[in-house]
Amino acid sequence: MSLSSSGKPAGFVTGFDENFYLAAYPDVAAAVQSGRFASGREHYERYGLREGRTGSASPTAAWHAAASRNLVAHVAGRAFTTAADWSHPATTSAPPAVTGNALAGFFAARRSGRGIWKWQHYFEIYERHFARFRGQPVNVLEIGVYSGGSLEMWRDYFGPQARLHGVDIEPACKAYEGDGVKIMIGDQTDRNFWRDFRTEVPALDIVIDDGGHLYDQQRVTLEELLPHVRPGGVYLCEDIHGEDNAFAAYATGLAAMLSAGEVTGNSDDPDRRLVCRTSPFQASIRSVSFYPQVVAIEKLLAPVAELVAPKRGTQWQPFLH
């Protein structure tokens, strides 16, 4: 988990509202007035997200937040109005180790040498999406090189045939370049940097965005690199923190696009009873998966032109044809 600096536009696409934020949080307004922060947005990105503060009064965002809370309450089998109403048994113990997980084992054994900083629950997610690539001549990109230890972890996991690429904004990270490891220095919000990157680096099988963790960094990187991921590849973005996280909202919109498209019926053709022509996004994306603090996007091995729902059998209830 490394942090990058970058130029930032005026507001989040999801509607960060400077005036709302300063009015809602007088302590932030006072800190901005005193010069401690250049703007409310600076505070929001550096501290507010992690503190659970809300970036706007958008009715749409508020409605979705309320709806999701109600669903969580229903699943939990209890009624509540805020997250604070939940009672959780106190625990300070670490989560159980993931048995047989090579990445978790490598991380647990790292007591010296180049540093690795990961949330423990990530290793099960990595295994789910990356296991099929082990021992293959894959192209892997990690954004956020930091202290170089995770590049050693990926080498150990994917094997000697893997070609590893690292991107970081800090020039010092160039020191971790070596046999089978290429390091490029650049700002992940810079589309020109990614244009040059794509001309130098072959199509990727795996992208791991552990870079700056700000919305614009994550969004621009996804937009520039998802088309550069091979069919069957995986794009994983981690450290997506906060209930009001803008990139989580952006990824939710992508997930909704998987259900887009007009469905047509063919009552005379049971093999094509329902047909949906795919959008360009549906044609190439297999799944958008959400985990705590992580989004993983998997691409299809081959384009899918349509989704079809055949009917099979001869005995049917009369109320639906």
Q: Is residue 74 annotated as a catalytic residue, yes or no?
A: no
Inter-residue contact 163 to 140 (CB < 8 Å): yes
The single residue of 129, 165, 213, 228 carrying the catalytic annotation is: 213
**Token match 């696009």: residue?**
257
The closest alpha carbon to 181, from 142, 208, 132, 210, belongs to: 142
Q: How many CA atoms lie within 13 A of 51 on its CB side?
A: 11
> Could you tell me the two tokens for 161?
């045939």
What backbone phi and psi angles, to 5 degrees, belong to 110? -80, 100
> Could you tell me the two tokens for 97?
């180790």
Q: Taking the CB of residue 65, how many other CB atoms lie within 10 A of it? A: 14
User: Active-site residues: which are they?
Assistant: 213
